[in-house]
Structure formats: C-alpha cells, structure tokens
Structure 1
Amino acid sequence: MNWSREGKWITIGFGLVSVLVGFVSFSSYQNATRLITSADQLKQTDDILNALTDISALLADAESRRWSYIVFGDPQDFEQYSAAIADIPPILDRLEAPLSDTPAQQERLQQLRLLVAQRIQLLEQSILKYQDDLGAIASDDPLVLATRQNRIQIRQIIEQMEKEEESLLQNQVERARTEFQFRMLIEPLGTLLTFGILLAVYALLLRQMMKRYDAEALQRTWAQQKELSELKLQFFSMVSHEFRTPLSLILGSAQLLDETLKLQVEPAKLKNLHRIQTAARSMTRLLNDILMLARADAGKLEFRPEMIELQTFCLNLIEDLQVFSQTQRTIQFSKVGDCTHAYVDETMLYSILSNLLSNAMKYSKPSDTVYVTLQADPDCLMFEIRDEGIGILPEDQDKLYQLFSRGRNTQDIRGTGLGLAVVKTCVDLHHGQIKVKSGIGAGTTFTVTIPQPLPPVHQATPALAQDADPFNADP
C-alpha cells in the first residue's frame, strides 16, 4: 500500500517533471521558432531598407555621371551612368515580394516606379539638351525645375517607405522582446543566458554588418572619385600637351612675321596678326588654368614658395598685361610698406594677379583706370585691385569662385568662368583670403591677403632652416 502510494507519487512526480520538462522544451522550441521567424522578418526589413538606400545611391550616382558626361564628354562616364540606370529596375522588382502583404507600401512602390521612370526620362532629356550647349543650364530652366521636383518626390516616397519599414521593424523588435521576457521566467537560467548571448551576438553581427556595408560603400565612392580625378588630370594633361605645341608654333610664327613686317608694312595692316598673337596667348592661358584646376582637384598641384622681389614682379606683370592687351589701358600701381621681398609661389601669385587684373580690364571701359595697391608688411601681403567697371550683382557674389560661374550682367562679354576659381585655389594654397566689394555701376574691388611666415629661428642650422616649411614652423 505504502509502496503503491510512493509509486504513485513517484509516478506523479515523474509525470510532473516530464510535463515541466516537456513544457520547458516546448517553450524553448517555440521560442527558438519565433526567434527564427523574427530574424527572417528583420532580415527582410533590412533588405528592404538596403534596397531603398541602393536606389537613392544609384540615382545620385547616375545624376553625377550624367553631369560629368555633359561637362567633359567622357564616354566612360556615360557607360557608368547607363550601368547605374540599368541596376535600378532589378532592385525595384526585388521589392515586390517583401512588400506584397502591405498595401500601403505596395502603393508607394508603384509610385516610386513611376517617379524613377520619370527621373530617367528627365536625365536623358538633359543630356540631349545640355551636351552641346552648357550655357543653356539655368536654375529657372523648366527641365531643371522638373528634375528638382522629381528628386524631392522620390526622396519623400523613399523616406515614407523607410519610416514604415522602420516602424514595422520596431514593432517586431518590441513584440519579440515582450515574448522573450515572458518565457524567460519559466526557462532555466542556462536557457536564458544562452538565448541572451545569441540575441546579443545577433545584434552585434547585424551592427557589424551595417558598419562594414557603410565602410565598403564609402571606400567604393572614394575610389571612384579618386579614379575620376586621375582620369580628368590625365585627360587635361594630354589636351594641354597636344595644344601647346601648335599654339607655340602659331605664336612664334606670328611674332616672327610681326618682327619681319613691322618695318615694311603700316601698323594698321598688322592688326589681324596681332589678333592671332592675342588669341594664341589667351588659349595658352586657358589651358594653363584648366590644367591647374585639374591638378588641384586631383591633389597634385605643387606649392613651391620662394623669395621674390615684389615691386619688380608687379611692374613686370602689369607691363605684360598692357603689352598683350588689344587696347591701351591705364593701370596705376602703388606700394605701401617697407618690405621689398615676400615668400610666395611666383607662378601662383602671377595667376592670382593676372586673372584679377584681366577681369578688371575686361569689365571696365577702355578709358577707365585700374588701380593696383600693394601693402607689404612683415607678417602679411595685401593686394587690392580696384576698377571702375560694371560691378557684380549681389546675388552673384556668393558663387563667384565656382567653376564656370559668371555674373548675369556679363553675358555679352566673352569669358570662361575659370579665372576666379583659379584665383581662389591659389589663394587657398597660400593659406590666404580673398574678399570682394562691388556695386552695380560702381566698380569692383578685390582684396587678396597672403600671410607671411615668421623668420626662421636663429639657432637652427642653415640646412634645417632651408628645408623647413615656414608656413608650418613653430613660433
């Protein structure tokens, strides 16, 4: 009887243990199953977010390649543009299945398809329109406005889809957390720790995967930009080299003809010969500006400062401009300060002053005087170039130093929009500043400030003093 009662209790206890073990095992199995389902949902949501990010990146890359192709005409840019466009439809197709159970997201996806198709059409239209006429690009152009509106709409749709997916992701995470906390009360401590560690490892792996993806994307972008800069530099170097030889021959031949004929022919009849010389010099200067900007963009523009005599340098530069000018211009030069020499890159300083003086002469009347003031102090150089020309519109002053940027009141005057970009690049390499003060019809004043290095420390050996970089020397 007693054994039978004990046997019953053993049986009941064994049964209870079996039930508890079975319940715990079932709970663990159910928990594992739910974790797998949640992981799949998280992965699906993560894939959707990555796909949306890829679409934005491909559209941005396509637009960048499109502009590069319009400006430089490089077929490789057009191939990369076409490749980016071709990669977008498969990504959109890949989003169909994950979003099929969400009507709102499915509707947004269809809207996104239409907007992307419209965006591609606008990009193709812009290539056809602007490829042969860069001057047609304007902020109020209907095509530019339509592209901007389309870009805003695509961004809004993608942001809405991302917010929806992030909300679903948050709900999934919260639901999984709640269920996990409930089951954590009935599972053994080992099971709790095991699943806790697994969850932490999963979160860490997910975070690490996202960081790796971002780092790889950033590295790819940097490599593409570096490759593009290298290609641009190679292209411009090749173009500059190919053009310099015939230009030198043209200029040399024109000068030889001028020297030969000026004693035999009336000066008025040599006008066209002088035009040839002026055009050849202008083309050479344009090639120099383009090559300098390309080297600066690729990070290969060398800065080589040296001591120069300021007044002689300025007078020679002014004489060059007056000799090569098609009309006689008055340039008044004045110097303030006791310093006679300065530590600068002579080639870059020549580019700075020649571009500013050329603009002052170009945008003022032949009868107007251009004023050049040099203030030479031991710690700083200041050049002030003032003209009495047409002036610069206030709304154009913020973009003066951008490539190909020209004032709206200069459309009837020939120019490339490169000169001030070259000036800004050279001033920045000197660690200097450039300021402008202008009014319509009241002339323009450019002020360039270039800091001068401190004198070398007397205790330094001559070799060290010669090799040191004065701009970075400790005081």
Structure 2
Amino acid sequence: MKWSLEGKWIAGGFSLTLLIMGLVCVTSYKNTTELIESSDRVQHTYEVLNTLTSFYASMTVAESGRRGYIISGSQQELERHQIAVDKMRYEIQALQKQMSDNAIEQERLARLNAIVTQRLTLFRQSTALYQRDKSAVQAQALITEKSIKLRTEIQSILTEFKAQEERWLRIGVEQSRASMHYRILIEFIGTVLSFAVIFSVYLLLYHQWSQRKKLEFLQQSLAQEQELSDLKSRFFSMVSHEFRTPLSVILVSSQLLGEILQNLVEESHLKNLYRIQSSAKLMNQLLTDILTLSRAEAGKLEYKLELLDVQSLCLNLVEDINFFSQKDHTLKFISQGSCVRVNLDEKLLYSILSNLLLNAIKYSPQGGDIYLILSCEPESTVFLVKDKGIGIHPDDQRQIYEPFYRGQNVDNITGTGLGLAVVKKCLELHQGEIMVESEVGVGTTFTVRIPHQKV
C-alpha cells in the first residue's frame, strides 16, 4: 500500500511520540534503579558508621574494664573487659564484610586490625602481670603508656574511616537528589516534546496543504521558463547560423580583396579593409561565445572526449592566432614535461585557450611577449597563459567569470565580457579549474588545470 505524504507525516509523528515516551520510560526506570542503588549505598554507609561508633565504644569499655580490674581486682570488671574485647573482634569482622569490595578500605582496615591486635596483646599482658604481681605498678604504667599510643593511632584510623564514609554519604545524598531532579526534568522534557511533535505534525500538514497550490503554480512557471529557454537556444542557434554565413562571406571577400590590392596600393590605404576583417572576426567570435553560453545554460553544450595530441593543438592554435592577429605581439609556446595524448574535447579546449590568448593580446596594448605554457602532470594537464598587459584589479578578480562583466581599468579597449564566462563553462564540463594571478600594470597569468579522464 502506497501512503500519501500526509499519512507519512501522521505515522512519523505518532512513531516519534511513541519513541519519546519510550525513551522517557526507559530513562525513568534507569533513574529509579540508580535511586535504589544510591539508597542502598547510603544505608551501607550508615551501617559502617554505626559499626565504627560501636567499635570505638567497645574499645573504650575494654580499656575501662582493664583499668578497673587492675585498680580494684574486681572479677566483674575483668568480665566486662573480656566482653568488650570479644565485641571488638566481632565488630572488626563486621567491618571486613562491609568493606570487602573496597581495596583502599581493606588496606586501612588491615592497619587497624594490626594495631588492635597489638593493643589486645597489651591488655592480656597487663592482666597476666596483675595476676602474677599486683604491686608491679611501674610495669603497668609502661603498658598503659603503650596502650595510649596505640589508642591514638586507632582513633586516627577511625577518624579516616568516618571522614571517608561521611564523604561517600554526602556524595550518595547529592546523587540521589540529582537523580530525582534529572527524572523530573526528563519527564517534563518528554511531555513537552510529545506535545511539540504533535503540534509540529499539525503545522507540517497545514503547510503541506498550503504549499500544494504554490507548487502547482511553480510547476507551471518552470514549464514556461523551460519553454522560454528552449526558444532562446533555438533563436541563438538560428541567429548564429544566419549571421555566420554573411560574416564568412565578408571576411573571405575582404581577405581576397586584400591579397589582390596588396601589390597594387600602399599599405596605409588598406587600413579600412583591415578594419572590416577585424570587425568581422570580432562579430564571429561574439556569436560563437553567445551560442556557447546559451547552450551551456540550457545544458545542451556538446561534450565529446577524444584522444588529443595537446602539444600539436597548442602549436596550431598559436600559429592561427599569429596569422590573424594584427597587433605587434610575440606569442610564444613552451612545453614542459612529457606530454602524451589525453582525453579532452577538442572544440571546447580550443575555445578555452583561444579566448585566453585573445584576451592576453587585447589587454596588452603596448605589445610584448605572451606565453602559452603546456605542462603535463601525472593526474592533470596544465595550461598557463601569461602576459604583461594592464592587469586585473583585485576587486574584479572574483567577478571576471560572470557574463558581460568587465574590469575597472579596461578604459576604451573594446570587448564583450563573454570570453572568460565561456572559458568557465567549458572547464566545468571538463571538471577543471581556472586560477588567476594578476597585478595592475604588471601583467596577468591564468592557470587552467584539467584532470585526466577515461573515455
């Protein structure tokens, strides 16, 4: 069954709402589990603190019972002492169980157990000494002094235990509080998101409904624009064909006339004839550029790869331009690297290089050397066109590839602003790139890089 777009929005919104609620439930369950674990940790901490307090009380009672027995000789005090000692041992065992999963506390507990064992040994020695010699006061005093030192160490360890447990207690309480706040926040966010999703689905459906009519209107406009584009392309093709025939006749006739008159009249008298030839060439180039741009914009520009001898093509191009150019320029070709046949469109490549070279000639009014440099790299073919002309202002360098755009410093130099736009379109079909380096009054270098492609 094929769903409509509205049905997909509704199903998607419902699914997303269920997903959000499911995530909220999972988060709440996990948060509740963490609260239970935190509560267990708090309870465990309280039990440890109670055990430590009870142990300290038992230790105090054991010390008090020993002293009472030595002072009074009361058998009841001795029994009280023994009961307290047994209770101390029991509480040490309880602490070992309570701290079995904590390596640091186990190490601290081992120290405590060792010191307690020493102190209990002193208690036994004191009791045995009293039973042998009730008048050994000095020896009892020494035992008591050692016992007090051990008691101080025990108190220090107990203080460490209590500080650690109280710290864990605070952390547990803070975690429980944070978990509760987090749960409330998640549930609130989940509820808000659910309402937001439902409201968003409603808005999207409404937007979809309102956009449907706009889409129909746009489709009609697009069809009209496409028809206009096709009409423009046919018009330019027709104009180009109809204009090129008389232009070719004018150009060929003027060239023949020039050859006939060359030996009959002075060179200065042929000036107007040369102007006719130059204007015919300019109009022919203009028609070619306009036709290329219109076909490129309509997506109908022909692109046919074939194996080309790039070096021979460049030599022929330089020869053609030198033959037709009337200006006093020296056009030089340099080949670098090992150039082999590469897959390129010959017509488009010819258009790229001829436009760049003709621009270099046009914008070098004082003459000078113009270079076409061919460099064949493993992954691409690189062409450099260098001149010493008027240069391009930095503000113009980003816009020079736009149709009909001309730089700020062209002055009275005639031109259409189409050459570089044609170069850009031709390079796009080759997936190539063009870069420019220029300084006003010094010259310009265009670098064209075309990657190698397989047919």
TM-score, normalising length: structure 2: 0.54
1:446 and 1:394 map into 2 onto residues whose CA distance is 14
What is the root-mean-square deviation in Å for CA atoms of aligned residues?
2.4
The amino acid that maps onto 1:259 is E
Aligned residue for 1:65?
Answer: none
**Within 5 A, what are the aligned runs for 1:41-190?**
none
Residue 407 of structure 1 and its aligned partner are, at CA, apart by 0.4
Mapped contact 2:390–2:443 kept (Cα < 8 A): yes
Mapped contact 1:327–1:366 kept (Cα < 8 A): no
Residues 277-325 of structure 1: CA deviation (Å, up to 9, x unaligned): 2211111111010001011111111101211212221111111111111
Aligned residue for 1:314?
Answer: 314
Aligned residue for 1:344?
Answer: 344
> Which moved further from structure 2: 348-357 or 204-213?
204-213
1:415 and 1:403 map into 2 onto residues whose CA distance is 12
TM-score, normalising length: structure 1: 0.51
Q: Secondary structure at the match of 1:265?
A: coil
Aligned residue for 1:356?
Answer: 356
* Identity %, equivalent residues: 53
- Pair 1:232 & 2:232 matched: yes
Residues 211, 273 of structure 1: alpha-carbon distance in 2 compared, 3 angstrom cutoff = same
> Which moved further from structure 2: 204-213 or 234-243?
204-213
Q: Secondary structure at the match of 2:397?
A: helix
Residues 336-371 of structure 1: CA deviation (Å, up to 9, x unaligned): 111232211111111111111111111113431111
> Which moved further from structure 2: 213-222 or 386-395?
213-222
Mapped contact 1:387–1:443 kept (Cα < 8 A): yes
The amino acid that maps onto 2:271 is K
Residues 330, 203 of structure 1: alpha-carbon distance in 2 compared, 3 angstrom cutoff = closer
Residue 335 of structure 1 and its aligned partner are, at CA, apart by 0.5
**Within 5 A, what are the aligned runs for 1:420-431?**
420-431=420-431
Mapped contact 1:322–1:328 kept (Cα < 8 A): no
1:439 and 1:324 map into 2 onto residues whose CA distance is 28
Aligned residue for 1:269?
Answer: 269
The amino acid that maps onto 1:318 is V
Residues 341, 209 of structure 1: alpha-carbon distance in 2 compared, 3 angstrom cutoff = same
The amino acid that maps onto 2:440 is I
Aligned residue for 1:299?
Answer: 299
Aligned residue for 2:413?
Answer: 413
Mapped contact 1:339–1:378 kept (Cα < 8 A): no
**Within 5 A, what are the aligned runs for 1:427-438?**
427-438=427-438
Q: Secondary structure at the match of 2:308?
A: strand
Mapped contact 2:327–2:367 kept (Cα < 8 A): no
Residue 237 of structure 1 and its aligned partner are, at CA, apart by 1.5
The amino acid that maps onto 2:273 is L
Residue 387 of structure 1 and its aligned partner are, at CA, apart by 0.8
Residue 225 of structure 1 and its aligned partner are, at CA, apart by 2.7
Gaps of 5+ in 1: 1-180, 182-196, 455-469, 471-475
Residue 436 of structure 1 and its aligned partner are, at CA, apart by 0.5
1:259 and 1:405 map into 2 onto residues whose CA distance is 37
The amino acid that maps onto 1:245 is T
The amino acid that maps onto 1:377 is E
Gaps of 5+ in 2: 1-194
Q: Secondary structure at the match of 1:381?
A: strand
2:386 and 2:201 map into 1 onto residues whose CA distance is 67
Q: Secondary structure at the match of 2:338?
A: coil
2:363 and 2:200 map into 1 onto residues whose CA distance is 68
2:289 and 2:408 map into 1 onto residues whose CA distance is 22
**Higher Cα Rg, which structure:** 2
Aligned residue for 1:444?
Answer: 444
The amino acid that maps onto 2:364 is S
Residue 204 of structure 1 and its aligned partner are, at CA, apart by 7.4
Residue 235 of structure 1 and its aligned partner are, at CA, apart by 1.9
Aligned residue for 1:395?
Answer: 395
2:204 and 2:358 map into 1 onto residues whose CA distance is 61
Aligned residues between the structures = 259
Q: Which runs of 4+ in 1 moved over 4 A?
A: 199-205
- Pair 1:331 & 2:331 matched: yes
The amino acid that maps onto 1:321 is I
